[in-house]
Structure 1
Amino acid sequence: MRITVRPPERAAERAEPRPGPAADGVARVDRRTKNLTKRLRPGEIAVIDHQDIDRIAAEALVARRPAAVVNASASISGRYPNLGPEIIVSAGIPLIDDVGPHVMTLARDGERLRVEGNVLFRGDTPLAAGKLLNLPAILTAMEEARAGLSEQLEAFVQNTMEYLRKERDLLLDGVGVPDVRTDFDDKHVLIVVRGYHFREDLKTLRPYIREYRPILIGVDGGADAILEAGYKPHMIVGDMDSVSDEALTCGAEVVVHAYRDGRAPGLERMSALGRECVVFPAAGTSEDVAMLLADDKGAKLIVAVGTHANLVEFLDKGRGGMASTFLTRLRVGGKLVDAKGVSRLYRSQISTGSLLLLIGAALVTVVATALVSPLGGLYWEVLRGYWDSFVFWVQGLFS
């Protein structure tokens, strides 16, 4: 279902509130949803300009618990069945859709606004009006989007071939992979991206991390996810636009993902922090760079957390660059395992039952040794003395 955009200059004039929830709160305005979620607080109104809201963006918004989300663009354009709008609405957050680009200039960041039905107000003045999305409308739009999925698949294939032409030497022969100080040779590597179910996957992988102690690589904000889970990243890879200063200064080796022409926006930030870094020029995503680096440096196994694992997830990002991730997975091959696969296949080498049995056997051995030992009686007398002292102390509390 394609939602019609009203002319910006007339949207506010024709705004008539339709039945729906009302919300009042401070507005947070940003064209980049990723940046907005960093400063969005519970109860505030998120004003975004995000065509085809993807699942990751939606989950980030829901985690911040806004009072409402106002989208300047179409949340479902019909290009492909994106997953974000359903997640937002299912969480009970009103989503006012396709209000027009003018809202990004009319709504001021930090001012108090009001949502009433399908209209955004400043006081009693309507600023923008759109369509208040509900689950039936979203599900209908998703069905229609699936009908046109073949066009997106064709575009995906074309982007894949274009990336292969650009990065043939890198993909096939590893040409251009920089030297790093982190030793990957014959080791397990855990790559963390702030993507699908990354928190749940990290929690599930705790026994694996404890036993195998893999090299931990955070892709941009994935480094913060590693810190939040109670670990320290060995390496951070990315363009440094969504990772905290705390992560960048934790001592991890930093690899800045640069464009093929040598431009690396992340270098300026690293320079400001006084951190040395390695530059890796490559097309594609930072996720790809992390995988290619680990593979080229001899990693035995690469476990991926929060990365894209199936066709719907590749398309859900809605950009051609995801074709590079598809090819990178082919390049890495059998070394790459999705975190969900590890959690299902991996079992700790020492089971809980075996551990309890071992403890019980040890206790029996200690008791038996004390009984047959010439000094056993002395041990029992010492223990009895400690017990009598403890009982006397407890009685003293009530006397």
Structure 2
Amino acid sequence: MNIKAPIRVDRKTKKLAKRINAGEIAVINHVDIDEVAANSLVEAKVKLVINAAPSISGRYPNKGPGILTENNILIIDRIGEDAFETFKEGETVTVEDGKVYRDGELIAQGDILTKEKVAQQIKAAYENLGEELDRFIDNTIEYAKKEKGFILGEVEIPKVKTDYKDRHVLIVVRGQDFKEDLAAMTSYIEEMKPVLVGVDGGADALMEFGYKPDVVVGDMDSVTDEALKAAKEIVVHAYTDGRAPGLKRVNDLGLDAVVFPAPGTSEDIAMLIAYEYKAEIIVALGTHSNIIDFLEKGRKGMASTFLVRMKIGSKLIDAKGVNVLYRSKLKIKYIWALIATALFPVLILASLSPGMKQFMQIMQIKLRFMLNM
């Protein structure tokens, strides 16, 4: 292997991915490269990844390194903090067999992660998952006890100008396959005209598909200025003590924002706002809902997500992975007549029982997702 190219350097992979050019080398300091970060580097068409930290720590089977190597992007792994500090933005380096040179001088070296090595390390990480899950469950239960006031009325929901009442709400989060899922839901968006909520970078995904976000929610660390300017309303997620680092960025753009101090994740508060303001249905895609999702975000538990979903579950449709249903849509359509026949008595019951209305609406949306209608 002999690669010579300019480099881009950043401790935050998601920031680097926004400015790196195709064919350049990404120099990062990212323990356990996650799926979203890896996909952003693939989309940017980077030549190579040099990582100061272990791309696979072995704590759990993270997906990022596999995504990179499957797309023929090799990783020079574990070059160390000291070596990372020597790299200069925009300089050109040469990489030969895991060694990095500047003008012929060796400045860093690490392990080359190939597809085979990634597979071996991920296999070993699966063996550690049980221990990690045990700690994750304990942390979730412990913090759920501390944060239960979040859903019991102890946290004040800020006043917003967006009208959620009796409307469908679509919440887009930068998560697994979120763009593919959004592409699969265009017919739903066109027909139902839901309130469009982008959680940080989820707002940019909406923009990519030609939709302006009604609301942007988050700490403002991964959303573009363009998406913020396009949004009708901005909700800045603040720490529970009121500190809101993201507010300065919004104000510097000459924009106003609502501040929501709360525990948990930004997607949690986006859902809670929609629920408290009487949304009829809340559709969420790209959300984080399992141990791998949360560990990839650097979180050791999911207390707030557990609590929020417990509260809003009757109105929530999790559309994560809906694109997978479309891959076999023809086979599914073959059984449409059978589904319709099975639902006929339920429809009759629904027409006689007003209490069944919301249930039937949720079922109708899920069928649309399945049948791509």
TM-score, with normalisation over the residues of structure 1?
A: 0.79
Q: 1:231 to 1:122 in 2, by over 3 A?
A: same
Of stretches 257-266 and 197-206 in structure 1, the one that deviates more from structure 2 is 197-206
Give the C-alpha shift of residue 341 in structure 1.
6.7
Q: 2:199 aligns with which of 207, 219, 232?
A: 219
Could you tell me how far apart the structure 1 residues matched to 2:295 and 2:372 are? 40
Which segments of 5 or more consecutive residues in structure 2 lack a partner in the other structure?
A: 326-365
Stretch moving more, 299-308 or 335-344: 335-344
Q: Name the structure 1 match of 2:190.
A: 210
Number of residue pairs the alignment of both structures matches: 331
Alignment of 1:198-347 (within 5 A): 198-320=178-300, 322-340=302-320, 344=325, 345-347=366-368
What letter corresponds to residue 150 of structure 2 in structure 1? L
Question: CA 1:351–1:215 in 2, change beyond 3 Å: closer, same or farther?
Answer: closer
Is 2:133–2:291's contact at 8 Å kept on the other side of the alignment? no
Question: How big is the shift at 1:279?
Answer: 0.6
Give the distance between the partners of 2:252 and 2:80, measured in 1 at CA: 38
**Is 1:47 matched up with 2:68?**
no
SS in 1 for 2:152: helix
TM-superposed CA distance for 1:251, in Å, is 4.2
Question: Per the alignment, in what secondary structure is the counterpart of residue 100 of structure 2?
Answer: strand
The alpha carbon displacement at 1:97 in A equals 0.7
- Cα distance, 1:45 vs structure 2: 0.6
Deviations 1:223-243 (A, max 9, x none): 111111111111110111111
Residue 165 of structure 2 aligns to a residue in which SS? coil
Aligned partner of 2:367: which letter?
Y
| Alignment pair present for 1:62 and 2:83 | no
Could you tell me how far 1:342 is from its partner in structure 2?
A: 5.9
1:87 CA displacement: 0.6
Q: Letter of the aligned partner of 1:347 in structure 2? A: R
Quote the Cα distance in structure 1 between the aligned partners of 2:303 and 2:36. 18
What is the CA–CA distance in structure 1 between the aligned matches of 2:21 and 2:11, rounded to whole Å? Answer: 17
Given candidates 154, 170, 193, the residue that maps to 2:134 is 154
Q: Distance between the aligned counterparts of 1:339 and 1:296, measured in 2?
A: 21
Task: Name the structure 1 match of 2:62.
Answer: 82
Q: Is the 8 A contact 2:165 2:279 kept in 1?
A: yes
SS at match of 2:230: coil
What do the CA deviations read for 1:78-131 (whole angstroms, capped 9, x no partner)? 111111111111100110111111122111111111111211111211111111
Percent identity among equivalent residues? 51
When the two chains are superposed, the root-mean-square deviation of aligned CA atoms in Å is 2.0
Distance of 1:173 and 1:163 partners within structure 2: 17
Q: Deviations over 1:247-295 (max 9, x none)?
A: 1111411100000111001111122122121110011111111111111
CA distance in 2, matches of 1:324, 1:27: 39
- Change over 3 Å in CA distance of 1:206–1:46 after alignment to 2: same
The worse-fitting range, judged by mean Cα deviation, of 327-336 and 253-262 is 327-336
Partner of 1:189: 169
What's the secondary structure of 2:256's corresponding residue?
A: coil
- The structure with the larger Rg is 1
Say if 1:323 and 1:24 are closer, same or farther in 2 by CA, change over 3 A.
farther
Question: Which amino acid in 2 is paired with 1:346?
Answer: L
Which residue identity does 2:16 align to in structure 1? L
